[in-house]
Structure 1
């Protein structure tokens, strides 16, 4: 529409800050479409039928100038090499800065200096629940079992939680009973961990709730509107949803969260 043409041109000229991305790493045996869809196992066999994958392949092929098929894109990537592909993608996205989450534990990752060949500003971010998982994956020094008290002393010292302590204790037991590697999915335990927001020592730290904390988006909106150091990002919405879905998601975030606290991120990662 003509009345939005000026806005469209301004957006297309704008440089962006990728507030949550992952390291570009050297090698992987994982199929390329697994990276695009986030699916694995049996579900991956149906991924080729999903609209997000078809849209991603179309857009990537247009950027590369390759055939718009999975095989054509993979062949182009193999022939072009990581440096060439990286330069093309970063230039097209106009990314002026990126913050890298080290959650994905691949050994052969490029360091921050290498990433600066694509964008001048590269920072690192800490994923709080991943820090908690690393702590719980370690054995207690005296061989005893984890309790909420022992975890609390190591994780935050004198942390005072607004979450229900009994529920959090049960959540800790549930998480540990699932075996290792630990994956924290119990909401009561997550609430307890995020009680860091109430700790005055961290009042100047900025916390970003990734993927708008789906499926707890309303809770995330409340936190962003009531805590000055809390921000939201809508990373996965960009790659997983269609245009209508992306628009709807952003509108939902803006119904309560201040516009300055809603951040873009790609949640992107890449292999050679």
Structure 2
């Protein structure tokens, strides 16, 4: 089996850890499921293969018994900083790119994470729009402010991120200015205190604005695609819906990164990466959330058609530092298995497989984001 443990990875999409008080008030098992219904959390999530495998992995890392109680006790002994350092060192990460628009009121600042590795930011488009909409009442002022926040890209931001798949789906259309303005005022009336940007027309309009600016700088834009928590309509998260954007000649200079292997639309994502020069696909969430067989099958589907120069590693880690470690452990293990199979089947030579591993684990991400580091 190919040994990839010595290759330091770039985790090109993850999230800030939550504060210690938030973690203490959150059931540990919540980090191992995309469900949030109490019945799922308390009665079913501990029966997943991911959770049961992860207890053994974490216990081995922390040198304790493979039970949730023992792990929680060991975590408490270590404290968050020591625990995070242990997980990051074991993950062998040379850099992490954080989307800090997830649970923004509960997370540690991105600067806190810099003590463990090199950290860069991913700016969540919908989060930015919500912050600005809460502060202004006129659409013209909002739009000018929104554009100015993106142009030029803020210092430390290496890419943009969209959760349109969660809010309204990936079938993103061109929207007239007057309709966007109407929807702005409708949302202001619907949410007089704290805006939740959920209107499809306004989201689509703002994405086109952001993509136009990204095109000026060749700034990568990441799109959530595929599975996630129940707030998402999975049917609308199929990356094939993005075809109008991918065919738009104005955005051919924007690297589009499909997150989460677009699972279960993984073959579709691999196809898009194979035919559009500006489309890439990452492995996060599918690795490590799937079973061992599922992770291997997912990576195999990506490699069926997608060039190895178009696949990037990520963990989509969030809430707890253990997910950074689990993503890296199984990202390398799954990739090693798939590349070994490719050697045995004659698809790759041993040297080509090693180069592919380097590309996927860090070199492709470096090529994408280097201009903004």
Tell me, yes or no, if the aligned pair for 2:14 and 2:314 is still in contact at 8 Å.
Answer: yes
1:89 aligns with 2:87: yes
Supply the distance in 2 between the matched residues of 1:84 and 1:122 (Cα, whole angstroms). 18
> What is the correspondence of 1:109-128 to structure 2 with a 5 Å cutoff?
109-112=108-111, 114-119=112-117, 121-128=118-125
Q: TM-score, normalised by structure 1?
A: 0.74
2:196 is aligned to: 182
1:58 aligns with 2:51: no
> What is the correspondence of 1:1-272 to structure 2 with a 5 Å cutoff?
5=1, 7=2, 9=3, 11-27=4-20, 28=22, 29-42=25-38, 43-45=40-42, 46-104=44-102, 105-107=104-106, 109-112=108-111, 114-119=112-117, 121-135=118-132, 138=134, 141-142=137-138, 163=173, 165=175, 182=196, 184=198, 194-195=207-208, 197=211, 201-202=215-216, 204-207=218-221, 208-214=257-263, 217=266, 220-221=269-270, 224-225=273-274, 227-271=276-320
Question: More displaced, 70-79 or 84-93?
Answer: 84-93
Question: More displaced, 210-219 or 227-236?
Answer: 210-219
Supply the distance in 2 between the matched residues of 1:79 and 1:200 (Cα, whole angstroms). 45
Q: Assess, with a 3 A threshold, how the Cα gap between structure 1 residues 139 and 116 changes in structure 2: closer, same or farther.
A: closer
Supply the distance in 1 between the matched residues of 2:190 and 2:61 (Cα, whole angstroms). 43
The alpha carbon displacement at 1:200 in A equals: 7.5
Tell me the number of residue pairs that the alignment of Structure 1 and Structure 2 aligns. Answer: 250
The alpha carbon displacement at 1:128 in A equals: 2.9
The 3-state SS of whatever aligns with 1:254 is helix
Supply the distance in 2 between the matched residues of 1:254 and 1:193 (Cα, whole angstroms). 33
The alpha carbon displacement at 1:271 in A equals: 4.9
Question: More displaced, 177-186 or 223-232?
Answer: 177-186
1:85-105 CA deviation, whole Å, 9 max, x = no partner? 112111111111111110221
The alpha carbon displacement at 1:219 in A equals: 5.9
Tell me, yes or no, if the aligned pair for 2:175 and 2:204 is still in contact at 8 Å.
Answer: no
Tell me, yes or no, if the aligned pair for 2:266 and 2:298 is still in contact at 8 Å.
Answer: no
Q: TM-score, normalised by structure 2?
A: 0.56
Supply the distance in 2 between the matched residues of 1:243 and 1:76 (Cα, whole angstroms). 26
Q: Assess, with a 3 A threshold, how the Cα gap between structure 1 residues 257 and 184 changes in structure 2: closer, same or farther.
A: farther
The 3-state SS of whatever aligns with 1:12 is coil
Q: Assess, with a 3 A threshold, how the Cα gap between structure 1 residues 85 and 240 changes in structure 2: closer, same or farther.
A: same
Tell me, yes or no, if the aligned pair for 1:211 and 1:235 is still in contact at 8 Å.
Answer: yes
Supply the distance in 1 between the matched residues of 2:217 and 2:273 (Cα, whole angstroms). 13
The alpha carbon displacement at 1:201 in A equals: 3.6
C-alpha RMSD over aligned residues: 3.7
Supply the distance in 2 between the matched residues of 1:257 and 1:156 (Cα, whole angstroms). 34
Supply the distance in 1 between the matched residues of 2:287 and 2:86 (Cα, whole angstroms). 19
Supply the distance in 2 between the matched residues of 1:47 and 1:93 (Cα, whole angstroms). 24
Unaligned runs of 5+ in 1: none
Unaligned runs of 5+ in 2: 149-170, 222-256, 322-373
Moved over 6 A (4+): 149-154, 177-180
The 3-state SS of whatever aligns with 2:261 is helix
The 3-state SS of whatever aligns with 2:285 is helix
The alpha carbon displacement at 1:73 in A equals: 0.7
Supply the distance in 2 between the matched residues of 1:254 and 1:19 (Cα, whole angstroms). 19
Supply the distance in 2 between the matched residues of 1:242 and 1:183 (Cα, whole angstroms). 34
Q: Assess, with a 3 A threshold, how the Cα gap between structure 1 residues 216 and 141 changes in structure 2: closer, same or farther.
A: farther
